[in-house]
Amino acid sequence: MSVDAATNRILPTGATYDNNGNMSPGLGTTLTYDVANRISRATVYSNNTYYGYDPSNLRIYSRDNNGNETIYFYGADGRKLATFSCSIITYLGQAEIQLLQQSENVYFTGILVRAEGHTVQEDRLGSVAYNGGTRRYYPYGVEYATTGNDTEKYATYTRDSVTGLDYAVNRYYSSQWGRFMSPDSYSGSVSLGNPQSWNRYAYVGGDPVNGNDPFGLFLSGPGAPDDTPGQVWAYDPTDDNWMALALMFGGCRPHPLPLDPLDASGGGVPRLLTVRNVQKSGKEYNTVAKTLQNILDSIDPDCLAYLQSGGNNLSDYVAGLLSNSLLAVADFAANLAAFTGTFGTDLAPGTAAIVVNNNGAFFNGDYTVDQGAIQGGTAKADVFIMLHELGHALGANEFQNDYNNIQAGHAKDQLIQQHCQRTLSQFQ
């Protein structure tokens, strides 16, 4: 099998790609993608199956070549609860929609314990085994012995019988090839320091033994609370470290430039961060906006080069942040100074890209930043906090994930001090 070195597209016999890089495998199978790069039709030897999705990319509908329709219901956390067949019947002379339950999923503390009428067990990656061992997988998801599809199988994914592909919410995954069928469209996830991220079709950076990707967006560490794939970046001055609040989310990232780099639709789980009194004007907002301008005016070349090491431009990002009203101040847990993106919070997707806490270290001298080295409520603390947020938003090298790791959080502090000391020294 040949590979296009410029795009990392594999070229098996008969495979084609559309203008967005979405793959159709050929050999009797043709995939049609909609404008959101989701498979809307699968044609297998002239038999068509159609799919429909809700705004958060949850697949809620399918219709096979014989006109049989299926509806999928999900919980508030995005987990599938039940599958129903759908048909039109006549009752008392009136046409009605009839839903007949075909299967249900049962969860205990967020872990799947029963599916398709079988008792199941999930391993640390979310792969499903039936009745104590039936269904086992090679590292990239191919089964040891083939079993029936249209159910949860490898690493939280549902494997379709029509195509053999795994539905991964925001993309489709091929266990045969160990890669996604569509490229990751979010440019901010490319890191010059991580060559694995250059392959936009790659699954979990080439390490399927130690990670999964439940939403087809990016690597999640196994065993994280609630099997969570996402992060809300925030500074916790009481622990003196940047910590990632791992919170469940679902949905897609709509921005080609990461104005909201980790934004996603979905949400209602108990761990959601409550955010209130969101403001995009006023005294506090102006202070935050001024801090961003101070950074643009005063940033030294080393700091600028580091923040832009992920391939995104600082000035363009800040301009887009302000012109698109994606900067905000709000009230939330006082030990968090700020966060980037909206997933894991009760904010609607797209509300803001960076949110600063009215009650946190940005404005409050009762807190400190940089592991206690900088007093909160000072210009220097404000710049330090925003440099941290910009590091995450721009995808600076080594700034992708902390995974609730205190040492990793401290390392992020040290990266800002290492690369931006001259910028920080201009503020008190």
Instruction: Report whether pLDDT(359) > 50.
Output: yes
| Same-domain pairing of 134 and 243 | no
Domain C-terminal end among 182, 209, 235: 182
Instruction: Report whether pLDDT(24) > 60.
Output: yes
Q: What is the residue-averaged pLDDT of the chain?
A: 81
Q: Is residue 187 part of a domain?
A: no
> Tokens 């040290």 — which residue?
414
Instruction: Report whether pLDDT(358) > 70.
Output: yes
Inter-residue long-range contacts of 203-206, CB under 8 Å, 24+ positions, other chains counted: 203/140, 203/173, 203/178, 203/179
When pLDDT is cut at 50, 70 and 90, the band that residue 344 belongs to is low
Instruction: Report whether pLDDT(32) > 90.
Output: yes
For residues 107-126, average pLDDT:
87
| Same-domain pairing of 155 and 293 | no
For residues 93-99, average pLDDT:
88
What pLDDT does 182 receive?
95
| Same-domain pairing of 268 and 324 | yes
| Same-domain pairing of 232 and 328 | yes
What range defines the domain where residue 103 resides? 2-182
What pLDDT does 372 receive?
75
Instruction: Work out how many domains the chain is built from and give that number.
Output: 2
**How far apart, in whole angstroms, are the C-alpha atoms of residue 243 and residue 338?**
11
Q: Is residue 141 part of a domain?
A: yes
Q: Is residue 209 part of a domain?
A: no
* Total-model pTM: 0.57
Q: 195: Cβ–Cβ under 8 A, 6 or more apart, which residues? A: none
What pLDDT does 341 receive?
78
pLDDT tens by residue, 99-112: 999 999 999 878 89
| Same-domain pairing of 175 and 264 | no
137 DSSP 8-state letter: B
| Same-domain pairing of 153 and 250 | no
What pLDDT does 343 receive?
63
CA 162 from chain center: how many Å?
Answer: 26
What pLDDT does 220 receive?
67
Instruction: Report whether pLDDT(294) > 90.
Output: yes
Residue type, 207: D
| Same-domain pairing of 233 and 149 | no
| Candidate ranges 111-125, 177-191, 282-296, 411-425; pick with highest mean pLDDT | 282-296
Written in H, E and C, the secondary structure of 248-309 is CCCCCCCCCCCCCCCCCCCCCCCCCECCEEEECCCHHHHHHHHHHHHHHHHCCHHHHHHHHH
pLDDT tens by residue, 183-228: 987 665 676 777 888 899 999 988 898 888 888 877 765 433 333 3
| Candidate ranges 260-269, 339-348, 361-370; pick with highest mean pLDDT | 361-370
When pLDDT is cut at 50, 70 and 90, the band that residue 263 belongs to is very low
The values of phi and psi at residue 357, to 5°, are -80, 125
For residues 131-145, average pLDDT:
85
Domain C-terminal end among 159, 182, 205: 182
Q: Is residue 210 part of a domain?
A: no
| Same-domain pairing of 262 and 161 | no
pLDDT tens by residue, 309-339: 988 899 988 988 888 888 999 998 766 788 8
